[in-house]
């Protein structure tokens, strides 16, 4: 069993797949704390969790002259300034189940909790690349990452990001060795993972083994033939993955975490809670909540860490308390967020449906019953 060495997990997690392990917390727990506890943070593994000995771990970095640089965990910690960043990580497939409800897609049945926020600490990727001999104006196109997790044929997980992004200090790209003040947990990439704030989860390579720089994107399956968006009319017979760019920055997103779908709520005032986030450092500027299917709206109160405009990597938790209209038996609760570029979420799923079920960010809808 290649999964026999996987770590133990928190029993509250809702498991979407046991091998490889994929799980999310109950969504209502997400709005309890601004930083998501490591044990409850969603886990998205494509392969068995590798067992890495921190004493012998070596990160390989391919230098500009082709010669590899090798760094131990101790060297990564001591030779480069420690940098901390609070960033939200979201899987491209978050809220896929809502897309699946419109029409069958291929992928794990994620609810609304394949997203979480952590305080990450590590070395800046640009400092490590500079140490290896790269300069920001070198004109390279991509930085490729390879994980130490591999399938039975030896194929490792891989992804890439633009070189320009990697070398820009303001993008805060990390080689993280800590998550919320602890050593990176095994499920989250122990001992070192890439954290690319504002960018889809798939590029945040865990169990980082090798970094290379070059003219092309990662040739991995996950960069080339997955994690791309298509028109709703494209199906598995007609799809051509070379025609769409790999997802990097994510679109504006929000979801209701409380009340939970199908709940019974007392009459009077109702408090609605949730999260909102956008990719590319575009902060959330407003969340609108409706209790009546979108006829009237309430503006939610946003809470979270203050971050520099353009570098707002973390989500906002939001809440609003509003009166339930008297005599109403059911509420159609909606939320929609607006980001710093005034991007808004689409109102329904069907026009953004795609065969892989990624980028599912329509208005979130929760129906509850009002106690009589």
Which residues are near Mo ion by CB under 5 A?
44, 91, 201-202
Residue 42 interacting entry, from Mo ion, ligand MTE, none, C-beta within 5 to 8 Å by type: ligand MTE
- Based on CB atoms, which residue is closest to ligand MTE, 212 or 290? 212
DSSP structural state of residue 292: B
Residue 257 interacting entry, from ligand MTE, Mo ion, none, C-beta within 5 to 8 Å by type: none
Residue 188 interacting entry, from ligand MTE, Mo ion, none, C-beta within 5 to 8 Å by type: ligand MTE
279 CB-near residues (< 8 Å, 6+ apart): 198, 199, 200, 248, 249, 250, 251, 252
- Based on CB atoms, which residue is closest to Mo ion, 128 or 250? 250
Rama region for 304: left / alpha / beta (φ>0; ψ in -120 to 50; rest): left
- The sign of the dihedral angle between the CA atoms of 82, 127, 312, 279 is negative
Minimum CB distance to Mo ion, residue 230 (Å): 17
- Based on CB atoms, which residue is closest to ligand MTE, 59 or 366? 59
Out of 140, 186, 206, 365, the only residue in the binding site for ligand MTE (CB under 6 A) is 206
Residue 46 interacting entry, from Mo ion, ligand MTE, none, C-beta within 5 to 8 Å by type: ligand MTE
* Contact flag: residue 356 with ligand MTE (CB under 6 A): no
Answer for the pair 318, 301: CB distance below 8 angstroms, yes or no. yes
Minimum CB distance to ligand MTE, residue 79 (Å): 23
Q: Which two tokens stand for residue 264?
A: 């019974």
How many CB atoms are located within 10 Å of the residue 310 CB? 13
Out of 197, 201, 251, 280, the only residue in the binding site for ligand MTE (CB under 6 A) is 201
Helix (H, G, I), strand (E, B) or coil at 267: coil
Helices then strands, each counted (H, E), the chain: 6, 22
| Residues 269-298 close enough to bind ligand MTE by CB under 6 A | none
Residue 157 interacting entry, from ligand MTE, Mo ion, none, C-beta within 5 to 8 Å by type: ligand MTE
| Farthest CA pair distance, the chain | 74
| Residues 3-62 close enough to bind ligand MTE by CB under 6 A | 41-47
Helix (H, G, I), strand (E, B) or coil at 89: strand
Helices assigned H by DSSP within the chain: 27-30, 73-79, 96-102, 125-131, 163-167, 221-224
**Interface map 156-175 toward ligand MTE (x if CB under 6 A):** -x------------------
Minimum CB distance to Mo ion, residue 247 (Å): 10
Query: Taking Cα atoms as reference points, which of 165, 135, 132 lies closest to residue 63?
Result: 132
Q: How many residues bind ligand MTE (CB under 6 A)?
A: 20
Burial class (CB in 10 A: 0-12, 13-18, 19+), 201: buried
Query: Could you tell me which stretch among 55-63, 168-176, 196-204, 255-263 binds ligand MTE (CB under 6 A)?
Result: 196-204
- Based on CB atoms, which residue is closest to ligand MTE, 89 or 370? 89
* Contact flag: residue 149 with ligand MTE (CB under 6 A): yes
* Contact flag: residue 205 with ligand MTE (CB under 6 A): yes
Minimum CB distance to ligand MTE, residue 48 (Å): 10
| Residues 66-105 close enough to bind ligand MTE by CB under 6 A | 89, 91
* C-alpha span between 217 and 148 (Å, rounded): 19
44 CB-near residues (< 8 Å, 6+ apart): 22, 91, 114, 201
Residue 21 interacting entry, from Mo ion, ligand MTE, none, C-beta within 5 to 8 Å by type: none
- Tell me which residues touch ligand MTE (CB under 6 A): 41-47, 89, 91, 147, 149, 157, 187-188, 201-202, 204-207
């Amino acid at each position: 069993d290649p999964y026999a060495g996987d770590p133990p997990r928190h029993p509250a997690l809702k498991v979407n797949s046991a091998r490889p392990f994929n799980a999310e917390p109950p969504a209502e727990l997400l709005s309890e704390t601004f930083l998501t506890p490591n044990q409850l943070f969603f886990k998205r593994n494509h392969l068995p969790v590798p067992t890495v000995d921190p004493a012998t771990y070596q990160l390989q970095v391919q230098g500009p002259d082709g010669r590899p640089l090798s760094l131990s965990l101790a060297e990564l910690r001591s030779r480069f300034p420690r940098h901390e960043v609070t960033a939200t990580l979201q899987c491209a497939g978050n809220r896929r189940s809502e897309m699946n409800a419109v029409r069958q897609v291929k992928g794990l049945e994620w609810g609304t909790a394949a997203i979480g926020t952590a305080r990450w600490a590590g070395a800046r990727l640009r400092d490590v690349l500079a140490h290896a001999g790269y300069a920001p104006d070198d004109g390279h196109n991509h930085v490729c990452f390879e994980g130490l997790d591999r399938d039975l044929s030896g194929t490792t997980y891989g992804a890439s990001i633009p070189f320009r992004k990697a070398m820009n200090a303001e993008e805060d790209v990390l080689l993280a060795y800590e998550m919320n003040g602890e050593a990176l947990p095994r499920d989250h990439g122990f001992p070192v993972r890439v954290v690319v704030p504002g960018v889809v989860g798939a590029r945040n390579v865990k169990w980082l083994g090798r970094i290379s720089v070059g003219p092309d994107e990662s040739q991995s399956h996950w960069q080339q033939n997955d994690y791309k968006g298509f028109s709703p009319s494209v199906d598995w017979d007609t799809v051509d993955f070379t025609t769409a760019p790999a997802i990097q920055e994510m679109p504006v997103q929000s979801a209701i975490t409380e009340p939970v779908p199908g709940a019974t709520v007392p009459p009077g005032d109702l408090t609605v809670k949730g999260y909102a986030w956008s990719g590319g450092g575009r902060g959330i500027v407003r969340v609108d909540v409706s209790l009546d299917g979108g006829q009237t709206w309430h503006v939610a109160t946003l809470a979270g860490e203050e971050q520099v405009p353009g570098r707002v990597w973390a989500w906002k938790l939001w809440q609003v308390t509003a009166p339930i209209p008297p005599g109403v038996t059911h509420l159609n609760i909606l939320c929609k967020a607006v980001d710093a570029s005034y991007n808004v979420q689409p109102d329904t799923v069907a026009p953004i449906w795609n065969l892989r079920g990624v980028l599912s960010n329509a208005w979130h809808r929760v129906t509850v019953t009002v106690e009589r």
